[in-house]
Structure 1
Amino acid sequence: MGSVTYHFGEFDLDPSLGRLGNRGSPVGLEPRALALLCYLVEHRDRVVPKQELLDAVWSGEFVTDAAVTTGLRTVRLAIGDTGRRQQFIRTAHGRGYQFVAPVTVTPEPTAAVTDSTRDTIRFCRTADGTRIAWAVTGAGPPLVKTANWLSRLDMERATPIFTHWFEGLTRGRQLIRYDGRGSGLSDWTSGFTVAEWIEDIDAVADAAGLDRFPLLGVAQGGPLAVAYAASRPERVSRLVLSAAYARGRLARARDAAEHAEANLDLKLTLAGWAAEDRSYQRFLGAQFFAASPPERWDEFTAYQRQTVSAANGARFLEVQSRMDVADLARRICCPTLIVHSRDDPRVPVSQAVELADLIPGSRLVLLDGRSHLLTAEEPAWPRFLAELYAFLAEEDTGQDR
C-alpha cells in the first residue's frame, strides 16, 4: 500500500513526508508534535489513552505525562484548536484524546520514484539517540553538505531562494544533506555543541553508506565542516568552504567596540525572533541577501520561521557567534577550497583570508559578489560552480593519489 495524505478542515497532513500544510502552505511543527498529530489522526476511530501516546511518540524515553500535554498544546496552536475550542482534538477526561474532525484520505501511488532530481528523505539516529532527517538528491559521486543556519528538507527545494543550489550541486553528483538537530524535520533537541553536530554528520554518512567523501560547508556550516574535517580526517577526502569563517562574530571581536557591535548584531536578530517584528527580521535577511530586493529578505524570514522554534533559533545564533575552530583548522590535512564573496556583508572577506592562512595548502578564490548566500542572478554563482566542480574533478580523476 502506498502512503496517504489526510485532509481535514484547511489542512493536509502527509505522515510519510512529515509535512503539515494549510491551503498548500507549509505549517511549521516540530517533529515530536507532528508525530503526535499523525498518531491521533491515524487512530481517529477511538479515544487514545495518554500512556499509549507516550509509548508511541516518546518510545524508550523517560518523560512525564506533561510531555503529552505540552505536545498537544503545540499541535492545537498550529491547527487553530484550543483547550476550549476543540474542533479537531477532543479531550476525553480521564481517558485520553480523540481526533474528531471529518477526515478524507488521498492515497499516493505506490510506484517507485525514478526521477533522480527528486529528494528521498530518510531518518537515522545519532550515537545519543537523536533522530536526524537526511535527504539524497541526484546521482553520481557523493557530495555531503553540512547543515547551515536553519533548514527544512521538505521545503528547501520549493523555496525560490534555494532552488538553484539543487540544480547546481547535482550536476552528475549525488547531494547528501540533512537538517541539524534542533531544526527542520530532525528532533528539536536541546543539544547545540560542536561535538553533537559532528555526531549528526557521522550518523548521516553511516546511513548513506559512505566511508570517505568530499564535504561542503556553506556559511554557518563552514566552521562545522572545518571541525569535522579536522576530527575525522579518515572520512573527508576534500573540503569546500563557501562564505565561511573560523571564528564567530563574538569570538573574533578584538576590542570593546567590536564586541559591542557583535552584541548589538545578536540582540537585534534575537529581538526579531522574539517580537516577530518584520523590521528586525529584515536585518538578517538583508545581510544574507544584500544584492536582492526586500521581497527576498521577507521570503527568507518566512522560511526561517517554519524551520525552527524561536527558542532554538536564538540558541543557534548565540552558539554560532561564539564558535572558534581556528585551532582545528590548522589540523586539516585534506585538499581544501575556500570561496568567498568580496563584499559579503555578513562575514567579511578577511575571515576567508584567515581561513586560508590557517588551513595548510588551502586554495582561496574571491568572487565579485555582495550576498552572503549566493543567488542565481549573481555572476559569482556560475563562477562558484565552476570552481567547485573543477576542484572535485581533481579527486574523481585521481589527482589526489
Structure 2
Amino acid sequence: MHRAGATIHVEPRAFDLLCHLVTHRDRVVSKNELLDSVWGDRFVSEAALTTALRTVRRALGDTGGRQGMIRTVHRRGYQFVAAGTTVGAAPPARSEPARTAAPFGTDHQVIRFCKAGDGARIAYASVGTGPPLMKAANWMSHLDLEWTTPVWSHWISGLARNRTLVRYDERGCGLSDWEVPSCTFDDWVDDLETVVEASGLDRFPLLGVSQGGAVAVAYAARHPARVSRLILAGAYARGRQVRARDAAERNEADLDLDVARVGWSHQDPRFLRVFASQFLPEGTPRDWEEFVDFQRRTTSPANGVRFLEEFARIDVSAIAHQVRCPTLILHSRDDARVPTSQAGELAALIPDSRLVMLDSRNHLLTATEPAWAEFLSHIDAFLNG
C-alpha cells in the first residue's frame, strides 16, 4: 500500500483486514465478521485481530487514541471512517459461518491474550454481562486462581454484578508472561492501553486498586476521552520512597524495601506471613496462609522484588490534576498498608473527586466485613449516577 507517496509494507492478513473495512465502510464491522473474513476457518484469538488492527493503524498514520481512520465502536466492532475513493476491487470475502460468542455470567470467564508493544504476552479476561468496567492490574493477580482464593473471589463476583468486568494480569504475573524485557510503571500503563484496545472498549469506567490506582490515574490523564468515571480503592499517588518527608522516613522506607528483597528472594515464611498481615490485619491465620500461598503461585520471587522496588518509586502527583472525569476514592480508615494521607492527597490532586472512608483496617476488603457491602454500594451508586 502507499501513503503520502511512500510505499508501506503491510503483512497480508493486516492488508486483508483493511480491505474488508474499506469495502464495508458504510457500516460497523463486528470482530467476528473480521475474524471470519480475514482468517477463514483457521481458529485464532482476538489478539491476532488486535495485532493486525494495530499494524493497519500504524501504516495509515492512525492510533487507537486518535481513531481518525478506523473507529472503535464499543461492544460492536470497527468502522473505516476516513474519506476516500475506491479505485480497485477488494479481495472477495471468504464465505464462512459466523462465530457465536459463548454466553457467560459471573460464574464463567473468557480468557484471551494480547501482545504489548515490546512483545510481552498479556492475559485478560471478561466476566459478567452489562455495561463494562475495566480494572487496572495490581499486585498479585492470577485470572484463573482468583476464582478460588478467598482473597479475590468475592471481588470478581461483586464487581461483575450487573456489568461486564474486564481485568488482566500485569506483566510478570499470573497468566501473563513472567519473563519480560522490562517491568516499569510506564510498561504497566502501556499494558493497560493494550488491553483496552484488545477488548474493543471505547469509553468506559476504570477501577484501580492499590498501585493499580496510580496506573489508572496515569491512563485517565493520557486518555481523558476514554475514561468516563474513575474509581480508586486503597490507592496512592506516590510510592513510599517518593513520599518520604525526611531522612528518618527515607531510611525507614529503604529498610522496609531491603527486608522485602530478602524475604521475597528467599521466600521466608515468617516474612511472607507478616507481609500478608499488612494487607489483611483483620484476617485470620488461615486468611494469611491463603494469601501467602496465592502469592507464591502468582509470580516468581525475582519478579516480586521487581514489583516492590517499582511500587516504591511510583509518582503520579504531577499528572493527577489532568484527570477530567468524576472520580470516587474509597479507602479504609485504618489501612495498615497505605496510609489514609495518600487518599487525601489523591482527593486534593484530582479536580472532580470525592473521598469516602470505609470502616476497616484491611487494605484488601474481605467478603465478611461490613465495609465490603458498603464498598460495592458506593461503586454501584457512582456508576449508575
TM-score (normalised: structure 2): 0.72
- Whichever residue aligns with residue 192 of structure 2, its letter is I
- Could you tell me how far 1:387 is from its partner in structure 2? 0.5
- Whichever residue aligns with residue 135 of structure 2, its letter is K
Q: Secondary structure at the match of 1:192?
A: coil
Is 1:158 the counterpart of 2:139? The answer is no
- Whichever residue aligns with residue 321 of structure 1, its letter is A
Partner of 2:231: 240
Is 1:120 the counterpart of 2:117? The answer is no
Partner of 1:201: 192
Tell me: CA distance 1:208–1:184, structure 2 relative to 1, closer, same or farther (3 Å). Answer: same
Partner of 2:259: 268
- Correspondences of 1:2-401 after superposition (within 5 Å): 113-117=102-106, 118-188=108-178, 189-394=180-385
Q: Secondary structure at the match of 1:172?
A: coil
User: Aligned partners of 1:156, 1:290: CA distance in 2, in Å?
Assistant: 20
- Could you tell me how far 1:113 is from its partner in structure 2? 4.9
How many residues of Structure 1 are paired with residues of Structure 2 in the alignment?
284
User: Aligned partners of 1:295, 1:370: CA distance in 2, in Å?
Assistant: 17
- Could you tell me how far 1:116 is from its partner in structure 2? 1.5
Contact preservation (8 Å) 1:340, 1:366? yes
- Could you tell me how far 1:195 is from its partner in structure 2? 2.1
- Whichever residue aligns with residue 158 of structure 1, its letter is T
- Could you tell me how far 1:254 is from its partner in structure 2? 0.4
Contact preservation (8 Å) 1:215, 1:239? yes
User: Aligned partners of 1:260, 1:194: CA distance in 2, in Å?
Assistant: 23
User: Aligned partners of 1:198, 1:309: CA distance in 2, in Å?
Assistant: 21
User: Aligned partners of 2:331, 2:189: CA distance in 1, in Å?
Assistant: 24
Q: State the percentage of identical aligned residues.
A: 57
Q: Which whole-Å deviations, capped at 9, do the CAs of 1:262-292 have from their partners, x for residues lacking one?
A: 1222122222212222111112100000110
- Whichever residue aligns with residue 204 of structure 2, its letter is F
Q: Secondary structure at the match of 1:326?
A: coil
Contact preservation (8 Å) 1:182, 1:190? no
User: Aligned partners of 1:127, 1:268: CA distance in 2, in Å?
Assistant: 34
User: Aligned partners of 1:257, 1:377: CA distance in 2, in Å?
Assistant: 38
Contact preservation (8 Å) 1:269, 1:283? no
Unaligned runs of 5+ in 2: 1-99
> What root-mean-square deviation, in Å, do the aligned CA atoms of Structure 1 and Structure 2 show?
1.4
User: Aligned partners of 1:265, 1:283: CA distance in 2, in Å?
Assistant: 12
- Could you tell me how far 1:236 is from its partner in structure 2? 0.9
Which aligned runs of 4 or more in structure 1 are off by greater than 6 angstroms? none
- Could you tell me how far 1:206 is from its partner in structure 2? 1.1
TM-score (normalised: structure 1): 0.69
Q: Secondary structure at the match of 1:245?
A: coil
Tell me: CA distance 1:122–1:320, structure 2 relative to 1, closer, same or farther (3 Å). Answer: same
